[in-house]
Amino acid sequence: MEKTGNRFVIYKEKISLEKSVTILLDSQTGVHYLAYQDGYAGGLTPLLGRDGKVVVVPVENGR
């Protein structure tokens, strides 16, 4: 995992010529986000699991 500041961590990333898909982890809440970029357009949304619920991992205290 690569740190992008104090709060968000890049969990996984795939980049092609003009498109990128990145999964970010919020280290304070444990919520995963999916970021998509295609040229100058893009979006960000919470990542959902098979059950339709937001993907959350336990967060260590003091982080």
pLDDT value of position 62: 47
**Mean pLDDT (10-residue bins), the chain, 63 residues:** 72 89 92 94 95 90 51
3-class SS letters over 3-24: ECCCCEEEEEEEECCCEEEEEE
pTM above 0.85, yes or no: no
The Cβ of residue 51 has, within 10 Å, a number of other Cβ atoms equal to 7
